[in-house]
Structure 1
């Protein structure tokens, strides 16, 4: 997963690899893909497959005619689009896992039960809720007691790196709270997010459904999310929302752009992810 993200124009915000499934939160880096020149597109594609005879000749530095270069450029544009496409990312990721599992089991045939499911995260609240939901998977499944002890999760990787005062190169960095100009990255402070996940994990592990600890992470106040709603999202995010996730206003705007009349789960977006009326 981490290796593929370095090939594709996709940044990994959060991930959790469980015993029989995995979750990943991805950011499509359209600006990076748009700035790739012909050679970079070809070199990246060749890390996935052999390419074509033309692309092989191109990387080897063989002389090529103008018609051949035009044809290669046309094909490269298709590859550029694929390298910024989540479906193609999942295709190569799932295929590599399936091949490895079949070799291990000495069998052939279908490995995954079905295609992946995806949700579009439209704003900060949806992004924070989904990332925490993913990072807390092992705690929710009672496979770990703390975020730093949860194997195969992005939050553990981030905490380990933070102890050395750095952020993991393989993951999209935290860029701090929204500002102008806003640097590239996740629009939260790393410390705030780790505190939020730690607090959420403690509540989930101890099954607190009534009174909530008064020492709330400040990020909840900034995002204007009720702590009880937040803990509910940590348990049910995946089941409560379908294709579009965010404030009700963000979902309605996305529906208008997509020509859709309605989005399943918009009432839950209104309840859990929309700021309180003023």
Structure 2
């Protein structure tokens, strides 16, 4: 039975979430349908462009993403402080980039004079828009509905394109966050549709590698900001270089289909995460298999379980073995 979204998302526990949307039946998001031989490869760009566009509107950052043949992975960061700092005008203008809004919000943007009653109604509307602009369900809805409409138009059909509601996993600590990001970035490698990270089209890791090789290249992903320190900017508290090197080594091991070895001395990022080589390889190849609504250390999982009203959460035993200090 599907769980209510309130039991899957709790911003007091974590602002980081892994979301997955899958196509229904034989619908293909992109790639080549082996049954019909038809190519849908161009749809990858639809998804990537739409996702990056939405991140410029919502107070939700993209940490990682991978556009696969019949599903999309995305790791998101909800920035409540950012949306609360926006002015009423900025909130309305951002919402109007996606939707028409109401007659009152259109009058507000034009600078028309409003009555006292209209101002009160407008205030309630802006409060609602502000909530939506940091709501993962609204971002995923705007992504999935747009792609479904475009795909149905191209296929000259109607009906459901996505399997149902998107799946959501709370990422409760740094180890869960980076393991899940690597799991997402390595999707094309695991499924053998790419041999290297550089050729993993329409993935976040490819964009990050391009930005390393060419500093002029820009992207809309949440940045890596290095080691924790005072007055830190917003971002992921690890080195981008360390992360990319670790994911690259992991990808080579996965691609060669053997139980490889990651030199801990060359990868201090694993030491900071408190993970062994075996734990890391298991997490980055089987993350979805072992965790359902949340992933993190046992204590964090127990807190999330209480805050979201779950009696039990699948993955607790794996949290003890895979996300404990090595």
TM-score surpassing 0.5?
yes
Following superposition of structure 1 onto structure 2, how do residues 167-206 of structure 1 map, counting pairs within 5 Å?
168-206=218-256
1:258 matches 2:308: yes
The answer as to whether partners of 2:262 and 2:277 remain within 8 angstroms in 1 is no
Which consecutive residues of structure 2, in runs of 5 or more, have no partner in the other structure? Answer: 1-50
CA distance in 1, matches of 2:272, 2:173: 13
CA distance in 2, matches of 1:80, 1:223: 34
Give the counterpart of 2:83 among 20, 30, 33: 33
Alignment match, 1:44: 94
The answer as to whether partners of 1:240 and 1:265 remain within 8 angstroms in 2 is yes
Deviation of 1:252 after TM superposition, in Å, equals 1.6
Alignment match, 1:133: 183
Alignment match, 1:234: 284
CA distance in 1, matches of 2:237, 2:217: 14
CA distance in 2, matches of 1:145, 1:103: 33
CA distance in 1, matches of 2:274, 2:267: 12
The answer as to whether partners of 1:133 and 1:233 remain within 8 angstroms in 2 is yes
User: Counterpart of 1:7 in 2: which secondary structure?
Assistant: coil
CA distance in 2, matches of 1:166, 1:201: 26
Give structure 1 regions of 4+ aligned residues with deviation exceeding 4 angstroms.
Answer: none
Give the counterpart of 1:91 among 122, 127, 141: 141
TM-score, scaled relative to structure 1: 0.95
CA RMSD of aligned residues (A): 1.5
Alignment match, 1:149: 199
Deviation of 1:179 after TM superposition, in Å, equals 2.3
TM-score, scaled relative to structure 2: 0.81
Alignment match, 1:124: 174
The answer as to whether partners of 2:67 and 2:203 remain within 8 angstroms in 1 is yes
The answer as to whether partners of 1:158 and 1:167 remain within 8 angstroms in 2 is no
1:110 matches 2:160: yes
Deviation of 1:182 after TM superposition, in Å, equals 2.9
Which consecutive residues of structure 1, in runs of 5 or more, have no partner in the other structure? Answer: none
Give the counterpart of 1:212 among 261, 270, 275: 261
Residue deviations 1:111-137 (CA, integer Å, cap 9, x gap): 112211010001100000000000000
CA distance in 1, matches of 2:279, 2:316: 15
Aligned length: 275
Deviation of 1:148 after TM superposition, in Å, equals 1.2
Pick closer, same or farther for the CA change 1:178–1:262 going to 2, 3 Å: farther
User: Counterpart of 2:56 in 1: which secondary structure?
Assistant: helix
CA distance in 2, matches of 1:184, 1:213: 29
User: Counterpart of 1:109 in 2: which secondary structure?
Assistant: coil
CA distance in 2, matches of 1:261, 1:166: 50
Pick closer, same or farther for the CA change 1:116–1:165 going to 2, 3 Å: same
